[in-house]
Amino acid sequence: MNMMGKEKPLLSEITSEHVYHCAKCGLCLDVCPVYRETLVEAFSPRGKVQLAKHIIEGNIEITEHMNDILFSSCLLCGSCVAACPSGVRQDALFSSLRWRAAERYGLGFTKKLFFQVLAHGWMMSTSAWFGKWIRKIFSGEWIESRIKFGNLPIDGIPPMNPKPFNDEFPEIVEPKGVINARVLYFHGCATNYVFGDIGRAVVSVLTRMGVQVEIPKKQSCCGLPIFMSGDRKTSLICIKEVLGMFAREGVDAVIVDCATCGSALRNEYVHILKELHDLGEEVDEDLIKAAEYLASITMDVSEFIDAHFDWLPEFPPATSEKVRVTYHDPCHLLKGQGVGVQPRHLLKTLPNVEFVEMEEADSCCGGGGEYQIEYPEMSALITNRKVKNVLVTGAELVATGCPGCSITIGAHLPKDNVKTIHTVQLIQMAMDGKGSE
Amino acid sequence: MLRKETANKFREIVGKDYYLDSVEDLISYSYDSSATEAMPDAVLLPGSTEQVSEIMKVANEEEIPITPRGAGTNLSGGSVPLKGGVVLVLTRMNRLLKLSRENRYAIAEAGLINLELQNHVKKEGLFYPPDPASWTVSTLGGNVAENAGGPRGVKYGVTRDWILGLKAVLADGRIINAGGITAKNVTGIDLMSLFTGSEGCLGIVTEITVKLLPLPAFQQSIQAFFPQMDATSRTVARIIGSGIVPVALELMDKVVMNMVEDSVHIGLNRDVEGTLLIMVDGEEATCKQQMSAIIKICKEEGSSDIQVAKSAKEEDDLWLARRSAFGVMSRKKPTCILEDCTVPVSNLQAMIRGTSEICDKYNLTVGIMAHAGDGNTHPMIITDKRDKEEWERVEKAISEIFQLTVDLGGTLSGEHGIGISKKPFLPLIMNEDARRLMVEIKSVLDPKGILNPGKFIE
């Protein structure tokens, strides 16, 4: 662990130099969802950057306590990155440290198994079986009333798709009439297994905009949950598969409907690959180039639709009363990809929507993927803040651009009153001239 | 390391969750926003004035250094535990205890964040003026300890001007109340002023009563760009000299502006030498009148481009840019040394010119920013503390900048406090008897010297 002597450096220079650019100004403290709840400096982004400095300089090792800090006090939401005036990439720093910490302390059996399943597409080939199995395990009144997935109440988690979304469509879905653009659709695991409706909405809206949608078969997981947990080796399997399938010339864009997958494709791959390359791991330059290319053509679905607003057919006038809708900024969409204006613009244009802004729309929902399962108490504190802000608006629907946020927020909203929905589903409903249902 | 028995006593007082001594926790309370770092032996996060009092009793008895800390955003090293011991963190004590609309005051615990107080009082149509750039995170207790200012200082002064009363724990654990809730109060020696700006060297402030104003009916900001720096600083002197009292009158040079624009992308003009960011508030008609007089002066001084904020969002963007200026300087080089030398506003032009010349002489990159309206300059020298040779040049330049300040009738600190970094320069500004008086006052309040030792009172 010590950098003295001939040992390999812990992190590559592109990552470690960040610690020296932290001015310790503290402007990351109030945007950090965990610091806001704990008010303890070691859990703040600034604290962890300073700890990273001591680790990189060899003053301290990655202790078990540090391992715990790295995982328990950070949702890797990137709020600190967005707020940092000095341009420090805390997310890159922390995710690299998690990698080293995981090498040292291991991942735990459940995580290991789960990541292998994701990375090797076992879910893909056996998905029908997998879906049934999951529902059998997590269903029934007795179980539902007693089991909680960390901070996630089981009865609040939406059911699995009866069959994977990917199996519902041919590989290429042609629009009617003129083709305005050709895109590849990366639908991610959430749409494939849980939110088939989102996938159908993406295809329906895009094709009606004259976009040819290609949905590559046997898509892999984006790898983000895997490398965010520090298992870079396994995540490389995913990254390589995604690059092979999607970093392709001759398409106008790669469309993503999940904020987290989008930020993986756009922000994370290049950094991870460069760092592994610099540290002498087996990553060649072509792979880095492919990642840079993919990052340059990837777009969030709301961003793409907004950029080609004139391709949208005119919406029929709203037939029912307007639905009150508020919008939650997924961290990985707003802070990771700078997409926040576009979904709001779209929502405000829809004839069936009355848009209302919530307080702290850009603050984290507390989900953080596995975070809510591993650290339910902290997650609950953060989620409660979000739910409170939603309820104050009196909205019937919370639009958002991330299935992960949808699950977390949706599971904690009072049933029957408020529901979560993807922005693109609302656009589809507007096209169909529908109200809330 | 604290003795085991001592540690246990502290644990009993604050509860085991709020006694921290892992190496990770110690490191994360070894710094603030200044360049100096030092490790404590333990970190305590008390939840009440009574707990602070109990802690002080033990610390005084056993002569353990106590360094109070809020969010740790101060720029002079005030919350760095130079002599080890305990860092006493007040962030958990963050309740707003009372807000009186009719008597226009608020009582808060020391850990309440400045902006949270601002937001609370705004809902009642009230206004708390001090607005340090760190206001989204810095605590009221820290603001009091450092006597913090902010851009609005031109019209509204520093924290001291807004304190009606304080509750403080003395070194031996006694709890005192100073001041009260009334608008006027001349009872006894002004203890509030004694504690405000004492940087945790005289006692631990745990509760603060602040004076509030009615929220101004209107505010407006403009940004004016100038082809020369001299014209920029001359404009400041002319505006202040004309009798207008703007809320804020901020100056940034080309270096700062370019780095800010790199960070926030709001379309700042990158090619001009200087810019002024000016805010007025009050009745709409008066504001508009003042603003047009200000714009006239800017034009006469050759301002090439004047932008008027047209919406609240545009106002926010302009001021966000200003508040992030310290952090953005670290983009180019890791270490940013930010001073806050303050001169009479008529000497601002000479101060800015002189600062640039000194930094040129030592071949250093400096960005100049100033709360120009009150003559408070913020030269920011960027360097890499790992580069020893350059660091020596930085130290020489800083000492010359302080001498220049004094020569121009100014003072070492307008709003950041003295802390560690400016301590050697105190003799430039306070004679020996004055400095000794500070030491004598401290020896009465803290005879064993346990409160924030190693700082400016020694």
Question: What pLDDT, in 10s, does the model give residues A47-81?
Answer: 999 999 999 999 999 999 999 999 999 999 999 99
Q: How confident is the model at residue B385 (pLDDT cuts 50, 70, 90)?
A: confident
pLDDT of residue A369: 84
Rounded-to-integer distance, Cα B430 and Cα B418, Å: 12
Q: How is domain B4-89 classified at the CATH fold level?
A: 3.30.43
- Work out how many domains chain A is built from and give that number: 2
Smallest CA–CA separation between A44 and chain B, in Å?
9
Smallest CA–CA separation between B298 and chain A, in Å?
29
- Of chain B, the percentage scoring pLDDT greater than 90 comes to 86
Q: Where do the domains of chain B lie? A: 4-89, 96-214, 218-407
pLDDT of residue A140: 46
Smallest CA–CA separation between B24 and chain A, in Å?
7
A341 in reach of chain B (CB within 8 A): no
Smallest CA–CA separation between A39 and chain B, in Å?
6
A85 in reach of chain B (CB within 8 A): yes
Q: Which of residues 359-398 of B touch A (CB under 8 A)?
A: 384, 386
How many residues does the structure list for chain A?
437
Q: Which is more confidently placed, B375 or A434?
A: B375
Rounded-to-integer distance, Cα A19 and Cα A27, Å: 15
Q: Does domain B96-214 have CATH number 3.30.465.10?
A: yes
Smallest CA–CA separation between B88 and chain A, in Å?
12
Q: Do B27 and A85 touch (CB under 8 A)?
A: no
Q: How confident is the model at residue A119 (pLDDT cuts 50, 70, 90)?
A: confident
- Supply the mean pLDDT for chain A: 88
The pLDDT tens digits of the residues spanning B236-285 come to 999 999 999 999 999 999 999 998 888 888 788 888 999 999 999 999 99
Pick A23's closest partner by Cβ from B94, B264, B327.
Answer: B327
Smallest CA–CA separation between A6 and chain B, in Å?
22
A243: helix, coil or strand? helix
What residues of B are in contact with residue A60 (Cβ under 8 Å)? 23-24, 27
A72 within domain boundaries: yes
CA angle A100, A105, A109 (to 5 degrees): 115
| CB-facing half-sphere around the CA of B243: CA atoms within 13 A | 1
The pLDDT tens digits of the residues spanning B143-183 come to 999 999 999 999 999 999 999 999 999 999 999 999 999 99
Pick B28's closest partner by Cβ from A25, A47, A86.
Answer: A47
Q: How confident is the model at residue A414 (pLDDT cuts 50, 70, 90)?
A: confident
If phi > 0 it is left, if psi is from -120 to 50 it is alpha, else beta; for residue B419 that is: left
Cβ-contact B330, B367 below 8 angstroms = no
Q: Which residue has the tokens 């009158």?
A: B249
Q: What are the strands, taking DSSP E only, across A248-293? A: 253-256
Pick A21's closest partner by Cβ from B71, B138, B331.
Answer: B331
CA angle B453, B80, A50 (to 5 degrees): 160
Cβ-contact A196, A224 below 8 angstroms = no
The pLDDT tens digits of the residues spanning B400-457 come to 999 999 999 999 999 899 989 899 999 999 999 999 999 999 999 999 999 999 998 8
pLDDT of residue B421: 85
Pick B25's closest partner by Cβ from A25, A39, A42.
Answer: A42
A5 within domain boundaries: no
Smallest CA–CA separation between A108 and chain B, in Å?
23
Rounded-to-integer distance, Cα B154 and Cα B250, Å: 10
Q: Do A54 and B27 touch (CB under 8 A)?
A: yes
Q: Do A65 and B45 touch (CB under 8 A)?
A: no
Q: Do A27 and B328 touch (CB under 8 A)?
A: no
Q: Do B24 and A42 touch (CB under 8 A)?
A: yes
Q: Which of B387, B389, B256, B397 is nearest to B327 (CA)?
A: B256
Q: For chain A, how long is the longest CA-to-CA vector?
A: 73
B305: helix, coil or strand? strand
Q: Do B327 and A66 touch (CB under 8 A)?
A: no
A-to-B residue pairs, Cβ atoms closer than 8 angstroms: 102
The pLDDT tens digits of the residues spanning A197-229 come to 999 999 999 999 999 999 999 888 999 988 988
Rounded-to-integer distance, Cα A323 and Cα A342, Å: 19
Q: Do A21 and B20 touch (CB under 8 A)?
A: no
Cβ-contact B259, B331 below 8 angstroms = yes
Q: Cα B129 to the chain's mean position, in Å?
A: 13
CA angle A345, A346, A351 (to 5 degrees): 115
The residue from A105, A126, A146 where one domain ends is A105
A170 in reach of chain B (CB within 8 A): no
The residue from A105, A128, A154 where one domain ends is A105
pLDDT of residue A306: 97
Cβ-contact A370, A229 below 8 angstroms = yes
Q: For chain B, how long is the longest CA-to-CA vector?
A: 71
Q: In what order do the strands lie in the sheet with B175-179?
A: B96-100, B105-109, B204-211, B163-169, B175-179
> What would the DSSP string read from start to end of A295-328?
HHHEEEHHHHHHHTGGGSPPPPPP-SPPEEEEEE
Rounded-to-integer distance, Cα A267 and Cα A270, Å: 7
CA nearest to A32 within chain B = B137
Q: Does domain B218-407 have CATH number 3.40.462.40?
A: yes
A397 within domain boundaries: yes
pLDDT of residue A138: 45
The residue from A105, A132, A154 where one domain ends is A105
Cβ-contact A104, A114 below 8 angstroms = no
Smallest CA–CA separation between B384 and chain A, in Å?
9
Cβ-contact B366, B339 below 8 angstroms = no
pLDDT of residue A312: 94
A222 within domain boundaries: no
What residues of B are in contact with residue A42 (Cβ under 8 Å)? 20, 22, 24-25, 27-28
Alpha helices, H only, B329-457: 348-361, 388-407, 432-445
Q: Do B23 and A63 touch (CB under 8 A)?
A: yes
Rounded-to-integer distance, Cα B219 and Cα B213, Å: 15
Q: What ipTM describes this predicted complex?
A: 0.93
Q: Which amino acid is at B360?
A: D
The pLDDT tens digits of the residues spanning A289-321 come to 999 999 999 999 999 999 999 999 999 987 778
CA distances from B420 to A68, A70, B19, B342 (A): 34, 32, 26, 18
Q: Which of residues 51-70 of A touch B (CB under 8 A)?
A: 51, 54, 60, 63, 65-66, 69
The pLDDT tens digits of the residues spanning B44-60 come to 999 999 999 999 999 99
**Is the pLDDT confidence value at A127 over 50?**
no
CATH code: domain of residue A49: 1.10.1060.10
A23 in reach of chain B (CB within 8 A): yes
- Of chain A, the percentage scoring pLDDT greater than 90 comes to 67
Smallest CA–CA separation between B152 and chain A, in Å?
19
> Domain range for residue A55?
13-105
Q: How confident is the model at residue A10 (pLDDT cuts 50, 70, 90)?
A: confident
A32 in reach of chain B (CB within 8 A): no
CATH code: domain of residue A375: 3.40.50
Pairing of strands A323-328, A353-355: parallel
Q: Enter the pTM of the model.
A: 0.91
What mean pLDDT do residues B77-104 have?
Answer: 97
**Is the pLDDT confidence value at A122 over 90?**
no
A39 in reach of chain B (CB within 8 A): yes
A170: helix, coil or strand? coil
pLDDT of residue A121: 64
What residues of B are in contact with residue A51 (Cβ under 8 Å)? 24, 27-28
For residue B96, list its beta bridge partners. B108
pLDDT of residue A154: 62
The pLDDT tens digits of the residues spanning A164-180 come to 899 999 999 999 889 99
- Of chain A, the percentage scoring pLDDT greater than 70 comes to 88
What mean pLDDT do residues A311-338 have?
Answer: 92
Q: Which of A57, A101, A33, A109 is nearest to A363 (CA)?
A: A33
Cβ-contact A235, A271 below 8 angstroms = no
Rounded-to-integer distance, Cα A103 and Cα A283, Å: 18
The pLDDT tens digits of the residues spanning A138-167 come to 444 444 444 456 776 766 677 778 888 999
CA nearest to A44 within chain B = B28
pLDDT of residue A340: 96
